Amino acid sequence: PYVVCEPCINCKYTDCVEVCPVDCFYEGPNFLAIHPDECIDCNACVPTCPVEAIYPDDEVPEEWQHYIEWNRYLAEQWKAMGYNITEKKGPLPDAEEWRNRPKSEKDILT
Ligand code: SF4
Ligand code: F3S
């Protein structure tokens, strides 16, 4: 499956959700997660993300390996809450400011 990594945090452009053929993105306050059991590895979402946050699980950069498990955990939580997202909406208000700032998984709001 594909994995949403750190650059998405506090940006959440949501371009990715529109192209997903199986609607497997789940939304939290400042991050999206892909449900690994639903993703069909089509690669459609990768080029749509303005901050290059999405990777196939076998190409996730070393420093972001923990996002593989985070996607599963968060997607399951948010799925249970009914937070499936399939339509693009505006990015978070401070997305441009956050774009090149250091962030970490601790910044993810649930
Ligand atoms: Fe959806 Fe395809 Fe991206 Fe998986 S790789 S999340 S199926 S668009
Ligand atoms: Fe996040 Fe990129 Fe989608 S910033 S919401 S993974 S388009």
ipTM of this model? 0.98
**Which domains occur in the chain, in start order?**
2-86 (3.30.70.20)
CA distances from 9 to 37, 40, 100 (A): 22, 23, 11
Give pLDDT tens digits for 60-89: 999 999 999 999 999 999 999 999 999 999
- Say if ligand 1 is within 6 A of residue 110 CB: no
Q: Looking at residue 34, what is its pLDDT?
A: 99
In which residue are the tokens 């996607």 written? 71
Which of 23, 32, 34, 55 has most ligand 1 atoms within 8 Å of its beta carbon, as the pocket-test mutant?
Answer: 34
Q: Which ligand 1 atom lies nearest to the CA of residue 23?
A: 1
38-52: average pLDDT: 98
State pTM to two decimals: 0.98
